[in-house]
Amino acid sequence: MLSPITKKYTDDSSMKQFKFTFYCDCCGKPIFTKVYDFNSAFAQKTFLSNDEKEARAIIYANEHREAYERANNEVRLNLNRCEICGDMICEDCSVYSDKLGGGVCCKKCGEANNEAKVSDYVYLQHERR
């Protein structure tokens, strides 16, 4: 399973649907993602043979993984990545910095202030090239 896009997330999936919530790395605000139904024919059945149960578990695991990846991609589009510490942050926590060439950093990095750090960062970027 790929690592979650934010440091904290919760998996609220049930046998009927897949549901993930992610949290802004900076303020902890929850970011809800689209809920997907578990569409397998087995989802509706009450009584299952052992073979069916096994099949359902495999299908469920696959769909669960796909829903999780979709949710991560969805959250990636809704959040910004701090160019200094790498945290995934919501719009409220995003500081747009000219020092980063119009890039984005989180409030913590912005407040910690950081003229110095920002210019170090830019310098490091240049060195790496």
- Give which of 34, 42, 29 is closest to 18, Cα–Cα: 34
Shorter beta-carbon distance to Zn ion: residue 26 or 67: 26
Q: Are 24 and 88 in contact (CB under 8 A)?
A: yes
Buried/exposed code over 91-125 (b: 16+ C-beta within 10 A; e: otherwise): eebbbebebbeebbbbbbbbeeebeebbeebeeee
Verify binding: residue 43, Zn ion, rule CB under 5 A: no
Decide if residue 106 touches Zn ion (CB under 5 A): yes
Q: How far is the CB of 60 from Zn ion (least distance, A)?
A: 32
Q: Residues binding Zn ion: what is the number (CB under 5 A)?
A: 13
Q: Is 82 in the site for Zn ion (CB under 5 A)?
A: yes
Q: Does 109 bind Zn ion (CB under 5 A)?
A: yes
> Which residues of this protein are in contact with Zn ion, per CB under 5 A?
24, 26-27, 29, 82, 84-85, 87, 90, 92-93, 106, 109
